């Protein structure tokens, strides 16, 4: 019975020209828009945009992935967190469901997962490239056109068109100029994006002050609005710049 239902589910997924290896686990609540590839990965209650693919060994629970995005091998969402300001980090001291030996009052319970404003553990935009062995903390949003280098530990939001790398912590590494040209961005649009991020990351201002300066100094354009809207909506804050050598 179970195998029959599973095979019917796989056939339904493949009707949209999706390619799912049989060693993959794709829950029935996961939506694949079409032309998706999932290789030996575990996708739970997620939304995967058109033509996006997910490579071997990845784990993406309750995630939203945009169109034409590329997820490398062993990319994993880190779902759970523990408090460090209590007598113990054990869930038995803050979650009444974890250990029946303890009774935990509501006021002492702890929210073990962070969600984005749209109710996902993680949101990944359109045309995003995430390298192999990346860990993404729950609550993180990665903007359209961003690139995340292999082995990164993503604990902050990655703004649109940005390149980010590093593990302790992940840092801003510039913009993906080659990728922007490939996608048809004009020289003027690319220059606008570059100037916006120069202000945000190189002006020695805090994020609020830098956004205000962008509003005042950069002419109105779609790129400006996309970037500023993303930053203002960020719950976790955006990645920081790499410190320049003195």
Q: Which long-range contacts (CB under 8 A, 24 or more apart) does 106-111 make?
A: 110/83, 110/86
The encoded tokens of residue 31 equal 């939506």
Residue with tokens 């609020």: 208
Residue of 7, 62, 82, 168 with catalytic role: 82
Q: How far apart are CA 180 and CA 160, in angstroms?
A: 11
Is 91 in a helix, a strand, or coil?
helix
Using the 8-state DSSP alphabet, how is residue 93 labeled? G
Q: How far apart are CA 34 and CA 25, in angstroms?
A: 17
**Which residues are registered as beta bridge partners of 124?**
65, 142
Q: How far apart are CA 67 and CA 242, in angstroms?
A: 29
Q: Is 82 a catalytic residue?
A: yes
Q: How far apart are CA 238 and CA 246, in angstroms?
A: 24
Residues annotated as part of the active site: 82
């Amino acid at each position: 019975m179970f195998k029959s239902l599973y095979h019917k589910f796989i056939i339904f997924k493949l009707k949209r020209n999706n390619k799912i290896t049989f060693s993959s686990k794709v829950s029935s609540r996961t939506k694949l828009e079409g032309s998706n590839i999932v290789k030996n990965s575990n996708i739970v209650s997620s939304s995967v945009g058109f033509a996006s693919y997910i490579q071997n060994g990845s784990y993406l629970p309750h995630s939203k992935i945009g169109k034409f995005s590329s997820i490398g091998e062993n990319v994993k969402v880190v779902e759970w967190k523990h408090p460090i300001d209590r007598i113990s980090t054990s869930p038995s001291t803050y979650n009444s469901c974890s250990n029946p030996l303890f009774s935990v009052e509501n006021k002492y319970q702890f929210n073990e997962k962070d969600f984005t404003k749209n109710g996902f553990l993680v949101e990944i935009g359109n045309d995003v490239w995430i390298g192999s062995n990346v860990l993404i903390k729950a609550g993180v949003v990665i903007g359209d056109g961003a690139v995340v280098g292999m082995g990164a530990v993503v604990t902050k939001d990655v703004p649109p068109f940005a390149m980010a790398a590093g593990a302790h912590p992940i840092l801003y590494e510039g913009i993906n100029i080659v990728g922007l040209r490939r996608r048809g961005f004009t020289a003027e649009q690319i220059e606008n994006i570059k100037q916006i991020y120069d202000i945000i990351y190189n002006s020695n201002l805090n994020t609020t002050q830098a956004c205000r300066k962008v509003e005042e100094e950069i002419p109105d354009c779609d790129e400006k609005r996309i970037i500023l809207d993303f930053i203002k909506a960020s719950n976790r804050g955006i990645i920081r710049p790499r410190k320049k050598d003195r």
